């Protein structure tokens, strides 16, 4: 297949990225916050996250990038263009992980950006526009909610003050944690962007199952996170007659089962997950006084997701009435489905095919920083296969050949959009 007409003359179709260097980067970051049995824990704004950030900044500086950190702790490493600061091409993702994370979710997209810059440096290539590698704060949302927080603030979707005031489950304040680890910056990220491309592992089974090399991501499904608090009454587990119990644990279990049944009636696109559950006092022989738990609802169709949101609240109220408990619901995150920029999506597809890779369009089931950056810049994503579709799990794995293919596509897209010319 012919290469797209926009390819700059003299720049090779597949930039000569180094698989060994890319692999070494992934392994190096895999040692930061490493878990004993494999995988990593770099929850946002913990000491492990700080260590990852410090390593990233050092790697950026070693590549000659100018590093800036904004007030929500997003890190930007910029390779200057010949034509001033306008029209930045941004690539990136996040380096925070869930506490049972793998080596690839997020981190790979940032490290692929480093590899692209290292390759351009090796080639002595120059670009008209700047290239910025971004690592956004608290993408996972595992410690502070909502998820995609850094990119959301950067895109103007959440006030900085509100974000800095968020607390984790232990009451730690996000702004304090940011200062504690030394990443409460004062810079601003790029203001004028031509495009944002995020390379990420699929985190699901589709590409591997179909033997497809590159996923062309058309958008991200809607996400709705609810935290539900049930207040009952603690009492002796052996002496309280059943009719007199107000068991918060039982009520929580009924709401969870009701949510799963409800999701099934809405069809296969409606997803539901139970995340954390905390019972108080959490003792074997005491009826639970309080249950705090989360329900994660997702759907690519916003109207259907709104229906699921409303149905969940109805279920919670019904259970409260039936169990004589008090139920309150709090929204932790609510993001509409996002469609990526058609021109950027087409560019991903054409570029991957021109490089000889098999492609498939798909929607992302996971949330990503790209869905926030899409508010302020034309954006798209590239997926590479995940073995067994496993992610948010220490066993998460993507073969080096797949990492390389994704990085080659990213490199080509960056070269095109930034206007690369050979030395």
Please name the residues in contact with 353: beta carbons below 8 A apart, sequence gap of 6 or more.
Answer: 1, 359
Q: Binding to Mn ion by residue 198, rule CB under 5 A?
A: no
DSSP string, 327-372: EEEEEEEEE--EEPPHHHHHHHHHHHHHTT--EEEEEESS--HHHH
Q: How many CB atoms lie within 10 A of CB 129?
A: 26
Per CB under 5 A, the segment of 51-59, 98-106, 127-135, 188-196 that binds Mn ion is 98-106
The pair of structure tokens assigned to 141 is 């949302």
**Could you tell me the smallest distance in angstroms from the CB atom of residue 104 to ligand GLV?**
12
Please classify residue 342 by burial: count the beta carbons closer than 10 Å to its beta carbon, then call 0-12 exposed, 13-18 middle and 19+ buried.
Answer: exposed
* Among candidate residues 345, 315, 338, 342, the one with its CA nearest the CA of residue 327: 315
Number of amino acids touching Mn ion (CB under 5 A):
3
* Distance separating alpha carbons of residues 398 and 385, to the nearest angstrom: 6
**Could you tell me the smallest distance in angstroms from the CB atom of residue 180 to Mn ion?**
23
Instruction: Write out the residues near ligand GLV by the rule CB under 6 A.
Output: 140, 147, 366-367
**Could you tell me the smallest distance in angstroms from the CB atom of residue 91 to ligand GLV?**
18
* Distance separating alpha carbons of residues 365 and 362, to the nearest angstrom: 9
Please say which residue, 105 or 177, places its beta carbon nearer to Mn ion.
Answer: 105
Tell which positions 126-165 bind Mn ion, by CB under 5 A.
140
Please say which residue, 73 or 367, places its beta carbon nearer to ligand GLV.
Answer: 367
Q: Binding to Mn ion by residue 105, rule CB under 5 A?
A: yes
**Could you tell me the smallest distance in angstroms from the CB atom of residue 169 to Mn ion?**
18
**Could you tell me the smallest distance in angstroms from the CB atom of residue 135 to Mn ion?**
11
Instruction: Quote the distance between the C-alpha of residue 35 and its chain's center.
Output: 20
Please say which residue, 115 or 140, places its beta carbon nearer to ligand GLV.
Answer: 140
* Distance separating alpha carbons of residues 157 and 185, to the nearest angstrom: 19
Please say which residue, 65 or 199, places its beta carbon nearer to ligand GLV.
Answer: 199
Per CB under 5 A, the segment of 104-112, 190-198, 297-305, 308-316 that binds Mn ion is 104-112
Per CB under 5 A, the segment of 11-19, 43-51, 103-111, 322-330 that binds Mn ion is 103-111
Pairing of strands 338-339, 214-220: antiparallel
Please say which residue, 262 or 366, places its beta carbon nearer to Mn ion.
Answer: 366
Q: Which residue is nearest to Mn ion (CB)?
A: 106
Out of 92, 106, 219, 300, the only residue in the binding site for Mn ion (CB under 5 A) is: 106
Please say which residue, 115 or 147, places its beta carbon nearer to ligand GLV.
Answer: 147
CA angle 144, 149, 152 (to 5 degrees): 160
Check if the beta carbon of residue 219 is closer than 8 Å to that of residue 338: yes
- Please identify which residue in the block is written with the tokens 């904004």: 70
Please say which residue, 81 or 204, places its beta carbon nearer to Mn ion.
Answer: 204
Please say which residue, 127 or 398, places its beta carbon nearer to Mn ion.
Answer: 398
What separation in angstroms does the CA of 166 have from each of 28, 69, 160, 161, 278?
A: 31, 19, 10, 9, 19
345 binds, among Mn ion, ligand GLV, none (CB under 5 to 8 A by kind): none
**Could you tell me the smallest distance in angstroms from the CB atom of residue 368 to Mn ion?**
6
**Could you tell me the smallest distance in angstroms from the CB atom of residue 421 to ligand GLV?**
37
367 binds, among ligand GLV, Mn ion, none (CB under 5 to 8 A by kind): ligand GLV
Greatest alpha-carbon span in the chain: 83
Instruction: Quote the distance between the C-alpha of residue 263 and its chain's center.
Output: 24
Pairing of strands 193-201, 379-384: parallel
Please say which residue, 136 or 196, places its beta carbon nearer to ligand GLV.
Answer: 136
147 binds, among ligand GLV, Mn ion, none (CB under 5 to 8 A by kind): ligand GLV
**Could you tell me the smallest distance in angstroms from the CB atom of residue 366 to ligand GLV?**
4
- Residue 185's SS3 state is coil
96 binds, among ligand GLV, Mn ion, none (CB under 5 to 8 A by kind): none
**Could you tell me the smallest distance in angstroms from the CB atom of residue 261 to Mn ion?**
27
Which residues are registered as beta bridge partners of 246? 233
Tell which positions 30-69 bind Mn ion, by CB under 5 A.
none
- Please identify which residue in the block is written with the tokens 């498939």: 360
What separation in angstroms does the CA of 148 have from each of 136, 170, 368?
A: 8, 20, 7
195 binds, among Mn ion, ligand GLV, none (CB under 5 to 8 A by kind): none
**Could you tell me the smallest distance in angstroms from the CB atom of residue 225 to ligand GLV?**
8
Check if the beta carbon of residue 212 is closer than 8 Å to that of residue 382: no
* Among candidate residues 209, 222, 310, the one with its CA nearest the CA of residue 269: 222
Please say which residue, 119 or 379, places its beta carbon nearer to Mn ion.
Answer: 379
102 binds, among ligand GLV, Mn ion, none (CB under 5 to 8 A by kind): none
Give the footprint of Mn ion on this chain (CB under 5 A).
105-106, 140
């Amino acid at each position: 297949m012919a290469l797209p007409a926009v390819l700059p003359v003299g720049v090779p179709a597949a930039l000569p990225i180094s698989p060994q260097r890319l692999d070494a980067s992934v392994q190096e970051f895999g040692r930061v916050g490493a878990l004993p049995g494999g995988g990593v824990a770099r929850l946002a704004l913990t000491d492990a996250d700080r260590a990852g950030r410090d390593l990233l900044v050092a790697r950026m500086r070693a590549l000659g990038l100018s590093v800036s950190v904004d007030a929500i702790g997003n890190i930007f490493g910029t390779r200057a263009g010949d034509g001033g600061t306008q029209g930045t091409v941004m690539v990136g993702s996040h380096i925070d992980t869930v506490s049972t994370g793998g080596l690839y979710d997020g981190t790979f997209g940032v490290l692929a950006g480093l590899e692209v810059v290292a390759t351009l440096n090796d080639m002595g290539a120059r670009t008209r526009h700047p290239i910025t590698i971004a690592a956004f704060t608290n993408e996972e949302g595992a410690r502070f909610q909502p998820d995609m927080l850094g990119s959301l603030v950067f895109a103007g979707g959440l006030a900085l003050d509100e974000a800095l005031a968020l607390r984790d489950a232990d009451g730690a304040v996000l702004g304090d944690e940011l200062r504690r680890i030394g990443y409460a910056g004062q810079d601003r990220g790029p203001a004028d962007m031509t495009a944002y491309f995020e390379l990420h592992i699929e985190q699901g089974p589709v590409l591997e199952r179909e033997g497809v090399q590159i996923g062309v991501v058309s958008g991200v499904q809607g996400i709705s996170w609810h935290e539900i608090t049930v207040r009952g009454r603690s009492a002796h587990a052996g002496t309280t007659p059943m009719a007199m119990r107000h068991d918060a644990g039982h009520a929580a279990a009924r709401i969870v089962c009701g949510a799963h049944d409800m999701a099934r009636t809405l069809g296969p696109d409606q997803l539901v997950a139970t995340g954390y559950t905390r019972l108080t006092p959490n003792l074997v022989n005491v009826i639970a006084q309080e249950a705090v738990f989360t329900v994660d609802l997702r759907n690519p169709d916003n109207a259907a997701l709104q229906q699921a949101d409303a149905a969940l609240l109805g279920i919670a109220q019904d259970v409260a009435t039936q169990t004589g408990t008090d139920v309150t619901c709090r929204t932790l995150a609510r993001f509409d489905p996002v469609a990526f920029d058609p021109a950027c999506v087409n560019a991903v597809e054409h570029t991957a095919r021109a490089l000889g890779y098999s492609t498939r369009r798909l929607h992302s089931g996971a949330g990503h920083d790209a869905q926030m950056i899409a508010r302020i810049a034309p954006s798209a994503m590239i997926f590479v296969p995940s073995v067994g579709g496993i992610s948010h799990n220490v066993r998460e794995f993507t073969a080096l050949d797949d990492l390389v293919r994704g990085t080659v596509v990213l490199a080509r897209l960056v070269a095109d959009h930034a206007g690369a010319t050979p030395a």
